[in-house]
Amino acid sequence: MQCNTKIFYQRRHEMPGVIKQMPDVINIEPTIKLKTLNGHLVSNNNNYKTIAKTVYNGIEVVPNIVWQGWEPGAEYTKNLLLKNVNVKSQKLKYSPPTTRFFTSLYPKMIVLSAGMSYTLPITFRPLEKNIYEDNIHFESSEGSFDIPIKAVLPEAEVDLPGELNLDMCAVQDFTKITFEMKNTSELHVGYMWEANDPFSIQPLEGTVEPFKSCTFTATFRPQSAKVFVADTVCKYGPSLSKSKYTRLEGIGKYPHLLCVTGATDFTSSQKSASQKESVLDFGQVPIGKGVEKFVEIRNLSPVNAPYRIEHPSGTSRVDTAFSCRQLEGVVPAMNSVRVPIYYNPTILNTTSIDYFHVIAIGDISKTTVKTVGASKGPKIELNVNHVNFLQVDAGQTYKKAIEVRNNGDIEAIFQFHIDNEESVFKFDITCGSIKPMSYKKIIVTFQPTHPINYYRRLPCLVQNQDTLFLDLLGTCHTETGKPAVLQYKHVERYRTHVDRKLSVFPPEQLNEMLKEGKLKLDEGGALMDPGAEVIEPYCEPISAIPPMDEFFNDGYYSDISCTVPHVSMDSHIVDFGRCNSLQDIESQTLNITNHTSGKVTIQWMGGVNHVFSVVPATMDLPPNKTSSFRVQFKPTSPNQFFGSELECYCYYKSMRDYRLVEDTTHCPPWCLTLTTTGHTFMPNNETFLPRFNLDFNRLVFPAVNTGETAYRTLCLSNSGTVPILYDFQPDHTGIFSIKPSKGLLTKAQQMFVVKMLPSAVKQYRQKLKLMLNDDVKHTQEILVWGSAEEAFVLLENDGVMYFKPTCVGTNTKKAYSVTNTSRIPLRFEWRFTHKDAQLLSVSPQQGIILPNESQEHVWTFAPKTQDKFVMKPALIAWGQGQSSSASGGKKRQFLVRAIGEGSQGQLRAEQSYFDFGNVIVGSTATKHIVLCNDTDCEVKYELMIDQNISGPYEEGITRMDSIALELEETFGVLAARSKKIIAGTVRPVRRVYYQFTISYQLLSPNDTPISEESQHVCHVLATGVFPVMAVTDARSYGSAIGLSKKQLWSLFSLDNFNMCLDSDPSSAELMYSVATRHSHRRRPPVYTRAILDFNFSAAPVGSEPCVVDLMVENTGAVFLEWSFLFPRDLQLELEYWAETGEYDEDELHEMKVMDNKLFDIQPRKGKLQPGETKTVQFTYKHTMPGTDRLPVLLKLSRGREILLNFIGVTVESDRRYIHFPSNKHMFTPVPAGQQNNPKQIYELYNGGSVPVNYAIDLVPLELLKQENFDQAVFECLNPQGTILPGRTTATEWLFSPLEAKTYMVDVPIHIDRGDSALITLTGVGYDQRVMGDTMPISDQQADLTGVPAVQSVPVPGQLLFLSQERIVFGNVPMYSQARHLVFAINRSHDHVVSFEWHVTASADSRIETQSAPASLGPSSHGGTPADTPIPAVDPVTPRSRTEVDTSYKEEKANQDREEIKRNPTFGVVTENLLENTLLNIISEATRPRLVALLPKPSTPQSGNK
């Protein structure tokens, strides 16, 4: 075996200190190749064999040597390559093979320098087919190694792809892929495949020659839609003992075909009402003209989809107008194909409906395409319906023009049925074709010869159209004869007389009857029977006769005559046949009968010099008599065809002279025509060879009822130069007839009318024989096909209709298909019994079903009770007839069995209670309500919501609120035993508590409730909330350290602030739900009316900043997001060029405050969960003297907006300044007329750096006293005093109202070397007899209720906390004692806190603390009682307050001694900041509400510090 070996050497990578040996790779066979088989990727891993070299002691060599493909007796040599890969030389010794089958060179020392190689040849000489093994032994100074050598026998081996992917394939379709199997051995290898469905491999078995390939075809034919993976086994080798596997993969997919009849989409215009079929509408198509339209078949699946198209009626119906030539094909994956459908109508004025079924492979899906088309014929019209030549003298010629117009869109052939040679009316064009939307002008000539009236109703035959009629009138005068001039009104009046059976009477008799009163004139001037007025049909207009019936039913070609004949001939055709002699005159007898009651005159046109003539030419015929005439044939040339139409006029003899004629009874003449034919060909002479064309060789008549007629037109064209004698053989069955049946075609065309009059319900198929030129061999056969039909319909499901269980009071609609399997349009009507009519209704109840049409009638089942019902409606169907007014054919009845059940519907919710919890006003919350229908019937329902609101609003305000609960669906239909998820969304509009009750009402199909009572479904609860927060504590530091919590609470208006935060926001405040920049103004607008002052008090310039910590708490139930917005935070950033105008003083001031950062808030924004607290620090810097203001907007997300006016005062260092937060003060209301009124306090705060002396001007108080009967209303007890820097002085006031009214006084407060202030004091006096106890100074006093008694904001470095910072004793009776227990808590875990009490306001104090200096360990607490003994005032024996106080203390000393021993102590931390803070707290806490206790720190209390 020869092998092209490619050797690739891979270099060894050497690094310092590391020797890494990597084996080289020898590629003995070609590299891997990837083959593409039919678009599939196949891996070919055969013939890939690598041998890696091995390094033994620095010698690189192959690990073994193998001989393959050898034969006994031959010699094979291979070279063993040895390479020294060390850096030094090596010496090798080797031992040759031990067996005699392998030989090598004589052993000798091999010296290999670094990088050198040595080739050692090894020869193999086999003697027989066997396996030979041996080895060669090598030795070096570093060790020894063996190289095995081996000779193997050839083995059968093939190379196959490991796997084949056949991709996706449509179910029951197949896909194929070809692949190769290569025989890599030198043996002939037999194989056999084993494959399981849906895979198969061909050929299944065979033999592959050595080193040859064999091509196989794998087929994938899935039977279901899933993933298929199978291992196919290829057995090969001797006795097929070896095997290999090839994995086959494929995916079965169901094809999805969609038929689209439009250009781009398939909307409602292309779908029928049932939505099950696509509609391809061809519109109106001219008869005989084919139209092609396309149906697009879209494949929406990822596999090729074979399809077939079935046309069920294509072979079963004779009048099928639709056809499809492409009946099968394949739609590529995710692609489409267009299938043409042809419509070629052959029957005039019919609507054709047909169905094509597009079926995917395996009948997996079927799509129906409904084709609709209507046929139409040409629209040939005459511009006039009559031509009246009036009076013309004999021998003269008068001409008039008419127009034949084609208003249709197809070319049409017309023919006037007249012989110009024999008639007095001559047409320059009697036949021809007219292009669409064009006309032809025809000249009509009147050339009379006899002095009579002329009237002929001339038919104009049109191809594929009803016959047209043209009335020709004229009057001829001579010197001897002057009849009355015939007018068209006489013709119209004559038709009325014919309808009234008066035309059979001669005019003179009618005149006598009119004179005698036996007749009278109607409104139109026609005669009538006086007693006929009571007969309603008698007075109705004359019904029009169908044009085809009028033309065909003449009493000769048809046994039926549309009118009673006045004069008739016994034959309309006279055929002389062959005339052997030109000298002989042949004649035949013609009889004419007078059917009237008057004498008539017969006048034949033409003359004796014509080929055909009648003698006598004129004859009077008595009433009801018959006379004979001789028709003569005088040919003028041999071997010629002759034919003509003789014209005869019959009229009452009294019409010959105008003096005998009355205008009322003027009767037009009757025109009779006689067709004559003959020829002069000798018996042995052949007639002319006809050259002709027929427009139809097969005539299919529309289906009719028994006894009705159907007509078709036939056109015979003469394409030669000689006339054609035509003769239609009569139909022996009498079903089909043709007019004219015999004649001579001398023009270009001859039009025929073929009539079918079936006598029984069956299908008729005949061949009409047309003999041309009187020669049998020129006979043509025309196949005529028609049928008389009776009503037959196909009912869906064999006439059984099932209704699903229906809720009582509602109804169920069901579409039920009815198919007209007959060829005639059917009228139908559904009829019910009285009982069934209460339960069933159908739409439409009556109508028309076209042939082959399948209509879906919508049935409605409306049960009234809970029961099962079996109903039997009947379908009455009958043939429509030729017109909508026709009575139609025989009626047939088809019964339908309808089965239904009435059931009670009911709904419920899976959960009867839904709680949305707290929902922010203006936001939404959604929950899903699962609605269940556990009954057997479908339920149509309406959900109703009842809303109940409870909250702080009056009912009149909330009554007009919209319902805050919105349901995703309030109307709907829930199927039986099913569930529906309805999303309920709560959108509260107020901060109230909502209670919703959801109920339902069952609805009828017209959406009216079945019952007035609603049924409960579930309850829904929700609470509308706003994000709210409150300030729970306040602390001041820095320059405001001297301010008490009460003062701070008042300066920052925190009571009003909390009240505003707890109130509802306005709609304007909710314009922006979150903080945003929304204005381009320098001073952004504010949409809130809540405006408060944050007064940072006053301090000298350069003082420490005023720092106020407010503890804010989310007191609401929802998440809160808040932010403080400076003016710049609300202003949109504009470009420099957009800044316009100058800044005013207020804007400049705000810019100064913000640029110098005088006010600051940390943090400016935050988020709080419900109940969570956060400390917000407000800072005001005293860096520049003056009063600073800055508007700051507090925005709660989806909540309130409050405008905070930050106010801070910085005082010059040497300025005497008292800070007045407001120029108004209101005292607590006091009852009028009391003797002892409580003291009230008005505080003054020194915001400067130097002491301030103040003096209150009492002059206004004196003036008020004089106005009130010299009784002091306002009295100041300490009008003068000194206030230390950063301290507060309480001025004491007595308010003693005399009347129940409001007192106001403006009091000046003078400051020594400072600015004075004018304060308005207000007091309210009330009548206690009227108000009662509604306005006492109670225990919970108004100005203290908002100030918290518990510290929440920690002071930096504070370790000791009090359980209460403020003790309010309220109103205490005289000589009694009130006691409060205050706990001191050490919150430090590793510090001991020492504390003691200091009473800072000891003057006239009634506060005692029972605690000595003490200490608290880490994380411990203790309590201290605070007693308040209140002395009584004796009205008889007044005593001083000191005496009362001493007596009271002595009486209580013994009682309190034990309790004082048990009391733990508490004190103050040693740090200065905490000491000052606690001193201020205790001072505030020990200050009674109505008595000011001035501080006297130098006077200690007994036992207290």
**What is the predicted pLDDT for the residue at 1076?**
59
Read off the pLDDT band of 583 (50, 70, 90). confident
Residue 1012's contacts (CB-CB under 8 Å, 6 or more residues apart) are none
How many Å apart are CA 401 and CA 395, to the nearest integer? 20
| pLDDT higher at 1338 or 376 | 376
Tokens of 1069: 């405040």
pLDDT tens profile 1320-1335: 999 999 888 877 665 5
pLDDT classification of 660: cutoffs 50, 70, 90: confident
Closest CA to 1326 of 1298, 1287, 1347, 1290: 1298
DSSP code of 1079? B
Local structure of 497: helix, strand or coil: helix
Q: How confident is the model at residue 1396 (pLDDT cuts 50, 70, 90)?
A: confident
* pLDDT higher than 80, residue 619: yes
Question: What pLDDT is recorded for position 1409?
Answer: 66
As a whole number of angstroms, the distance between CA 1263 and CA 785 comes to: 133
| Res 265 pLDDT > 60 | no
Structure tokens at 631: 């028709």
Radius of gyration of the chain (CA): 63
> What CA–CA distance (Å, rounded) separates 254 from 305?
9
What pLDDT is attached to residue 1474? 38
**How far apart are the C-alpha atoms of 1401 and 491, rounded to whole Å?**
139
Tell me which DSSP letter residue 119 carries: E
| Nearest CA among 1344, 1429, 1355, 1349 for reference residue 1383 | 1349
pLDDT of residue 1413 exceeding 80, the answer is: no
Mean per-residue pLDDT, 498-507: 90
> Is residue 432 exposed (0-12), middle (13-18) or buried (19+ Cβ within 10 Å)?
middle
pLDDT at position 218, please?
95
Would you say residue 18 has pLDDT above 60? no
State CA 1071 to chain mean position distance. Answer: 33
Do 962 and 1025 touch, CB atoms closer than 8 A? no
Q: Is pLDDT above 90 for 873?
A: yes
- Convert 1063-1093 to b/e letters by CB count within 10 Å (16 or more is b): ebbeeebbebbebeeeeeebebebbbebebb
Name the band, by pLDDT with cuts 50, 70 and 90, for residue 336.
very high
Ramachandran angles phi, psi of 1444, nearest 5°:
-65, -40
Looking at residues 851-873, what average pLDDT do you find? 92
Spatial CA neighbour of 358 closest among 333, 329, 321, 335: 329
Paired residues of 828 in beta bridges? 847, 877
Structure tokens at 745: 């075609």
Q: What percent of the chain has pLDDT over 90?
A: 47
3-state secondary structure of 161: coil
pLDDT in the model for residue 1410: 64
**C-alpha–C-alpha distance, residues 95 and 77, integer Å:** 18
Does 214 have pLDDT greater than 90? Answer: yes
Q: How confident is the model at residue 533 (pLDDT cuts 50, 70, 90)?
A: low
Amino acid residing at 803: F
- What six digits make up the tokens of 1349? 């008694």
Sheet of strand 978-986: strand arrangement: 908-909, 925-933, 978-986, 965-967
Cβ(238)–Cβ(225) below 8 Å: no
pLDDT at 538: 59
Residue 1489 neighbours by CB distance under 10 Å? 18
Summarised one tens digit per residue, pLDDT across range 1004-1061 is 888 888 888 899 999 999 999 989 999 999 988 888 888 888 888 888 888 888 988 8
Quick one: which of 358, 368, 352 has its CA closest to 282?
352
Q: Are 681 and 778 in contact (CB under 8 A)?
A: no
Question: What integer pLDDT is reported at residue 287 of this predicted model?
Answer: 86
Measured from the Cβ of residue 1233, the count of other Cβ atoms closer than 10 Å reads 15
A 10 A CB-CB count for 849 gives 24
**Residue 470: pLDDT above 90?**
yes
Residues 6+ away with beta carbon under 8 Å from 1137: none
Band (1400; pLDDT cuts 50, 70, 90) = low
CA distances from 904 to 203, 809, 863, 901 (A): 67, 9, 10, 10
Confidence band for 882, pLDDT divided at 50, 70 and 90: low
pLDDT digits (tens, 9 = 90+) for 4-16: 333 333 333 333 3
Please, which contacts does 1375-1380 make with residues 24 or more away whose CB atoms are closer than 8 Å? Answer: 1375/1429, 1375/1430, 1375/1431, 1375/1432, 1375/1444, 1375/1448, 1376/1429, 1376/1430, 1377/1427, 1377/1428, 1377/1429, 1377/1430, 1377/1452, 1378/1427, 1378/1428, 1378/1430, 1379/1425, 1379/1426, 1379/1427, 1379/1428, 1380/1425, 1380/1426
Please say if the pLDDT value at position 1441 is more than 50. Answer: no
* Contact of 27 with 10, CB cutoff 8 Å: no
- Distance from C-alpha of 635 to C-alpha of 664, rounded to nearest angstrom: 46
| Distances 1477 to 187, 964, 1141, 1497 between C-alpha atoms, Å | 111, 51, 50, 16
Asked whether the predicted pLDDT for residue 1136 surpasses 60, the reply is: no
pLDDT at 1215: 87
DSSP designation for 1152: H
DSSP conformation letters of 991-1049: SSEEEEEEEEEEB-TTS-BSSSS-EEEEEEEEEEE----EEEEEEEEETTTT--HHHHH
Asked if residue 1344 has pLDDT above 90, the reply is: no
Average pLDDT for 461-472: 94
Instruction: Kindly state the average pLDDT of the residues 446-469.
Output: 94
Residue 37 confidence (pLDDT) above 60: no
Calpha distance 786→823 (Å, rounded): 10
Place of tokens 């000489």: 125
| Residues forming a β-bridge with 710 | 756
| Span 949-961, average pLDDT | 84
Provide the percentage of residues in the chain whose pLDDT is more than 70: 85
Read off the pLDDT of residues 672-718 as tens digits, 9 standing for 90 and up: 999 999 999 888 888 888 999 998 888 999 988 888 899 999 999 99
Q: Which alpha helices (H) appear in 1187-1249, and where do they start and end?
A: none
Q: Which two tokens stand for residue 1280?
A: 């003068």
